[in-house]
Each structure stands twice: as C-alpha cells, then as structure tokens.
Structure 1
Amino acid sequence: MKTVVQCDFDGTITQDDQSFLLLDTFAKGNWRQLLAEYREGNISVGHFNTKAFAMVKEDKQTLLDFIKDKVKIRAGFSELLTYCRKNGFQFIIVSNGLHFYIDAILKHIGVNNIKVFAAQAHFSSRGIDVKYMGQDGSYSESEFKETYVRSFLVNSYRVIYVGNGLSDISPAKQAHHIFARDELLAYCKEASLNCTPFVDLNDVVRGLELLG
C-alpha cells in the first residue's frame, strides 16, 4: 500500500505558531477574541484566520522580515524528510496557516520539493485577504485538512497524520495512524483514540520505523 505522511506546520514542524506571532505583532484589533470563539467551537479555523488576518495591514516583505529570525524548527524535521524519501513515502504539508510564510521558511532552511497546501494570502492596505482553496479549486473555509486526508484514502493510500492542534483532530481521526502532541494528544487520550505521542520529529521517525 502506498503511504502518505500528512503533516501540520505551525506547532508541529515549528515549535511555535507563526501566525500567532504575526497577529500578536501586527493585527490592528482584538484577534484573540476571535481565537477564543474558535476554541469554543463557535467559528471554524478558516473563518478565524480570515477575520484575524484582515486586521493586518503591513506588506508581505515586512512580515517575512519579522518572522525569519523568530522561527524555530522542531528537531528531527530533516531526519523525517530523509526517512520518508528513502522509504518511498509521500510527505506533504497541509496547514491552516498562510502559504507565503510557510514557503519562505522552508526555503530559508534549505528545504525544497515539498508539496505545501495552505491558505492563499492577498495583500492590500485594507488588510490581508485569506482564502482556502480546495483541491478542486473551490473555496474551502472549513474541513480544509480533512479534504486531503479523504482524497488520499479514496486513492488507497495508508495515511499517517502528524499534528498538534485543535484543527488536526478531525483529519487525524480519519487517518490510519496518528502522531500527536499538545491539544491533539490531549484529545486522543480523552477519546481513547490510538496515537503515538511525540516530543520532537525524531520520535515520529522512530514510530514510523516500528510501523513499517
């Protein structure tokens, strides 16, 4: 069976959530109230990001200049990519974060040729216009990550999910195996959902070796 490793970005590959760093610094408004509404289940993560980033008026380069020296990559990322490549596993990043900074961070650390699916950002003086486009080109504010898991399942892939946050819960539940930390791990424990905890991405490599 073909294997795909679908991996989150913020808080999974990176130690911190880059979008939160950007919003804390540049958002002109109470974006954390929107975050609270999302955490309470009142709005989707896509709706949260769309409304929150509309509060950011700075240009793309200003944001990239700010974030490039702040990002901390979780240990084991390079080893995970090497393991997947050697074993013929497809590795993709599917994130509710913004494509422009994910792409820039990957290039900054010398990582190329990885498929990244994330929100598209259009910059203007009115704020950042964030849009989530599904695989078929249609607008997809909710279930963005889930659509990719389902697509791989339909195409007979074994899906390995790696994530950390609330937005990872629904897609992870559909995968064959879960590597989890933080809020995703807490949910798995509460729901008695089988998963492998990880501290860094070397733990994921070791777990994949055991799964075979």
Structure 2
Amino acid sequence: MQHDAQRCPHAHAPESRSVPGRRRMVKRTRTVLRKAAAVASAVLAVPAVALAAAPPAAAVDYYYELPYPAGESYRVTQGPEGTFSHTGPYNEYAWDFGLPENYEVSAAQAGTVLVSDWSPYWQNGIEVIIRHSNGRCTHYAHLNRAIYNTGDWVPQGRIIGWSGNTGASTAPHLHFQVIDCNTRVGIPATLQGWTPNTGSWPVSVNTRA
C-alpha cells in the first residue's frame, strides 16, 4: 500500500502537466477571435464612412425665363415648328415674339456671352448668344443693338440688347431659341415651365437683374 501510494502522484503527473497547456491554447484561441472580430468591425465600418462622405450630385438647370422683362406680354407670332420659317434643325424649336423695335431683351438664364454682334449668318442680323451652366446656349436674333461684349458674364434677367428688324426679318420681332453652343442646332425647351404656342401672349416673370 505504501508502494502504491508513492506511485500515485507519479501516475497523475501527466494530467497535472496537461492543464496549463489547455489553458494556453484557450487563451490563444480567444486572442485570435478578438483580433478577427476587430478586423471585421473595421472592414464593416469603412463603407459607412465612405458613403457618408460622398457629396450629393448637383442638379442641372434647364429652366428658362421668357426673354423680356417681368410683367410684359408679347404675342408669339410663330412658335416651334412653325411652317413659315421654323423648319429644319436650326430653327424648328424657336419662338418669334412680336416685340416692337428698340424694346428691352432679357437674358433667359445667367451665363457667359459668346456672341454679341452682327452674325456671320446674315439672316440673323445682330445676335446675342449666351452659354449657360447646363452646357447649352440661348440665342437672341434680329436685334437693333447688343449691349455686352464676348466673354462678359450676365445674370438672368439682365437687359442684353434691344429688339429690332435686322437680317432676314419681315417685321420687328425677337427670334429666340435654345441651341447647341457648338453646332447652333436647335434644342427643345420650355419657357417658364411650358411651351408657348403661336398666337399666345405669355406674361414674363423674368425680374430685372
């Protein structure tokens, strides 16, 4: 019995040595799991930060005022696709407003003056072309006088010239349209949110700048 009692501690020694080993393994496992959780949290957090920092897209402005001062009303003598002369790619979306000679013509939208002189196309007479922030241009033709110079910036509502009867015009009026700045091809547009038809008398809300 004494011999057995002496052997018992020795017999259980391997078990007592194995306990610290399991503890170390558990500790290492917990450490690995904590690191993995930290990495996963960091990865998941990155998209949220990136999305929060993204700026909203700027809206493009395709709203145009009528090309004469607020409170005034003139007859549309010929609207878009008018059969008299508003045909073909360069005029089909234009308006002719019955302004008498030497009446104020207003910028339909703010922009930079590209042309303000006699047109290289004699039919237009004296013309003004303004480039806007949306990449399109507005065209004002048959004027008696253009006020600004090429490169000038004008706000919406600013008086840019005086109506007239220059070029291929049978009577005093203002020829107005939205065009491609490079090709001068007409672009469909609305004025103050609608399309004035031939014979209508649209009232302007284009406040003077």
User: How does the TM-score come out when normalised to structure 1?
Assistant: 0.24
Greater Rg over alpha carbons, structure? 2
